[in-house]
Amino acid sequence: MSYHVPVLLKESIEGLAIKPNGTYLDLTYGGGGHSGEILKKLEEKGRLIAFDQDSAAQANIIKDKRFQYIHGNFRFFGNFLRYYNISHVDGILADLGVSGFQFDFSGRGFSFRKDEKLDMRMNTGTRSTAEEILNNYDSENLTRIFGQYGDIHKPDRLTNNIIRFREKKRIRTTRELKEIVGRIKPSINANKYLAKIFQSLRIEVNKEKEALIEMLNQIPDILNRNGRLVIISYHSLEDRIVKNFIRNHPTPKAMADGCQNCNNESNKDCLTRFKSNLIPVNKKVIVPSADEIRKNNRARSAKMRIAEKVIR
């Protein structure tokens, strides 16, 4: 079993422009594919600190005296670094989303291709599962997450089906969720539709949007001058947040609202207003080559952005 095939490996490591004796963070350790490559570029005084909130990732910990692993959510990475007396780092990598292991082998209901309990927690120590959301959220909130996190067309139709089903019986498994969707999913791109529904639930269960915004907000203070940030994202909501963060361009509406980490959901670009001191390294977003996608189909939706800290 391969735990995870790292995506955009060569490009992301190049993007970090690693200083051999620098200090680096891998915020999403998973199978350690990216971490392993970072370590290869580090010399004796180099240091790598990696985070993952899924305890399963601990099975992949690399034994190396330059490496430290922290089981925790990256939204608190600044606190962890303070605890370890690390004030600044030279590069930060975040390869967002879920690992191949989580999809294929965790048994937590991430994939619509399996019949599993609707859990979807990356950190099984947290409270809310997909089952709880599907059975307890009111229709307004269900429609919100399917619309915003899944870009589902007419999300209220899906919500109505869920409410009708759960009036008779508690929704517990991925098979039952597929049964609920069955009647309304389009005949073309049916799997894509299912994937979007599962994705939106996963984002809500793991509070992925909130974690990403909190993580990004800590980066400007922690990166050293000329330090690099490399972020790989897998859906448009994440990529938009990262893009806005790096460009440091709040929308006029965000400016008018004076919103900080705003929740103005009607304006998709108004996700947050950052005071960033980063500049993009590449004009265009970086995507995997056709060859990489052919070898690893899961890479197909990846988008990578690289930024460098500047002192203004």
Closer residue to ligand SAM in complex, CB, 51/67: 51
Closer residue to ligand SAM in complex, CB, 47/75: 75
Among residue numbers 95 through 154, which ones bind ligand SAM (CB under 6 A)? 95, 97-99, 122
To ligand SAM, the closest distance from the beta carbon of 2 in angstroms equals 10
The answer to whether 51 contacts ligand SAM (rule: CB under 6 A) is yes
To ligand SAM, the closest distance from the beta carbon of 19 in angstroms equals 21
Query: What number of chain residues touch ligand SAM (CB under 6 A)?
Result: 22
To ligand SAM, the closest distance from the beta carbon of 74 in angstroms equals 4
The answer to whether 53 contacts ligand SAM (rule: CB under 6 A) is yes
Binding mask 69-88 for ligand SAM (x = CB under 6 A): ----xxx-------------
Binding mask 248-287 for ligand SAM (x = CB under 6 A): ----------------------------------------
Answer positive or negative: Cα dihedral of 279, 284, 289, 293: positive
To ligand SAM, the closest distance from the beta carbon of 4 in angstroms equals 4
Of the candidates 15, 22, 30, 250, which one interacts with ligand SAM according to CB under 6 A? 30
Q: Interface residues with ligand SAM (CB under 6 A)?
A: 4, 6, 28, 30-34, 51-54, 57, 73-75, 95, 97-99, 122, 211
